[in-house]
Amino acid sequence: MNPFSLRELKRYLSKATHILNLASTKRLLLSALFTLLILQSGSAQFKLEKLSNTEAFEFRFIKNLIIIPLLINNKGPFNFVLDTGVGVFLITDPGLVDSLQLPKSLRKIKVVGFGEGKELEAAVTGNLDVAVNAVITGNLPAAILKEDAFDLSSYTGIPIHGLIGYEFFNSFTVRLNYMDKIIKVYRPEARYFLRRAEAIPITIEAGKPYINAEVALNKTLSWVKLIIDTGAGHPLWLESIAGKRVEVPQKNIRANLGVGLSGTIDGSMGRLSLLKLGKFELKEVVAAFPDYEDVGSKVFAERNGNMGNAVLKKFEVIFDYQRSLLFLRPNYDFKKPFEHDMSGIELIYHSPDYSRLFIGRVEPGSAADLIGLEVNDEIVDINFRRAKDWNIDEIYQLFRSRPDKGILLTIIPKGEKKTQVVVLTLKRRI
């Protein structure tokens, strides 16, 4: 296994910076950060340390992100996001350098342009011993960020240490059961298939899976090529159709969709009347439409956007990279309607223990904006239950429950010490 030269690493990273501008949120800049950064030859993989053809383990599903436990050099477990859009083992928590007792003299790489004049710096390791459990093991190189620029921990409410994708999915046939929160892996040579499932062709390009789908937008049916992105919590993200600006649905809301290398990505949220995946039809799908001026000139011609876990979780899913197939079988969530947040609040947790809940953003014109909630207000109670006792997904499900529903929030306004109770009346905006 011969590592690439530093010059080649920088060249791959410079390509990755263009992709990064297309990410849907700062905390979901998972899909492509180091997709083209190949630290070692393709032999870096996982394997099953037993004779049987399969092994299963549980995962956590928080904010539509799949989080799995990893042991690294026999230390941990550490929480990693399982992301089909990531082409290299990426450690986002720089504290792991000390925890894993890695040498201080690791090679450094810089990416210029993160935010306003800021550099994103990473260190490159040699191979690390990585294990999901005693049976699923691997020997992988990694990129370690000098600064946790994505802050996924405050987004999920638990410590997140990094991302892993291509090496895992390329090593096995991977079955995702979103309902039971179970991942089952099979040796590729077992050629496993899912009964009563639709087998849909996919392509694997630069370590990422792509699918061709049909979307109906403003009464026009179009074919689109989408990254299948388990590192994205949204349903759909459309950058362009046929190389042109997407005509945003008439009913839409303006939104801050995230932060890329060159700054914020503005756009709109709306609905597609139809998303067709093989024989399956999903209706009134919530989608994000970044402003063409922000991403249009940077969009790669071979893709139109990405599809995240908010769509995938309606199925039992099998990724078979070796045969270039995606198996889909609807689960009990298949017929549930897509709902967008009706509160207008983005929530964040503060370290080190992530027990305090704050407002990270308030959408203009939303229910939260109408009652005067502001960024950095602390939420103490929700419906008279301590905020720290709520699971973050319980809160977001509540915020998506139904329009005109009243929710009692006990808050401590920014800069004050006394609490006050407000009634947040949910408002459907799209």
pLDDT value of position 259:
58
Class of CATH domain 6-190: mainly beta
pLDDT above 70 covers what percent of the chain? 84
pLDDT value of position 374:
96
pLDDT value of position 107:
82
Architecture of the domain defined by 345-425: Roll (2.30)
pLDDT tens profile 377-391:
999 999 999 999 998
pLDDT tens profile 34-53:
433 454 445 568 999 988 89
pLDDT value of position 27:
33
- Is pLDDT of 364 > 80? yes
Across 269-273, average pLDDT: 95
Lowest mean pLDDT among 40-44, 82-86, 423-427: 40-44
Mean pLDDT, the chain, rounded, equals 85
pLDDT tens profile 107-116:
887 654 444 4
Q: Domain extents for the chain?
A: 6-190, 198-330, 345-425
pLDDT value of position 387:
94
pLDDT value of position 300:
54
pLDDT tens profile 123-153:
888 899 999 999 999 999 998 988 887 788 9
The yes-or-no answer to whether 6-190 and 198-330 have a common fold is yes
Which superfamily does CATH assign the domain made up of 198-330 to?
Acid Proteases (2.40.70.10)
pLDDT value of position 298:
55
pLDDT value of position 32:
35
pLDDT tens profile 94-107:
999 889 988 877 88
pLDDT value of position 4:
38
pTM for the complete prediction? 0.89
3-state secondary structure the chain: CCCCCHHHHHHHHHHHHHHHCCCCCHHHCCCCCCCCCCCCCCCCCEEECCCCCEEEEECEEECCEEEEEEEECCEEEEEEEECCCCCCCEECCCCHHHHCCCCCCCEEEEEEEECCCEEEEEEECCCEEEECCCCEEEEECCEEECCCCCCHHHHHCCCCCEEECHHHHCCCEEEEECCCCEEEEECHHHCCCCCCCEEEECEEECCEEEEEEEEEECCEEEEEEEEECCCCCCCEEECCECCECCCCCCCCEEEEEEEECCEEEEEEEEEEEEEEECCEEEEEEEEEEECHHHHHHHCCCCCCEEECHHHHCCEEEEEECCCCEEEEEECCCCCCCCCCCCCCEEEEEECCCCCEEEEEEECCCCHHHHCCCCCCCEEEEECCEEHHHCCHHHHHHHHCCCCCCEEEEEEECCCCCCCEEEEEECCCCC
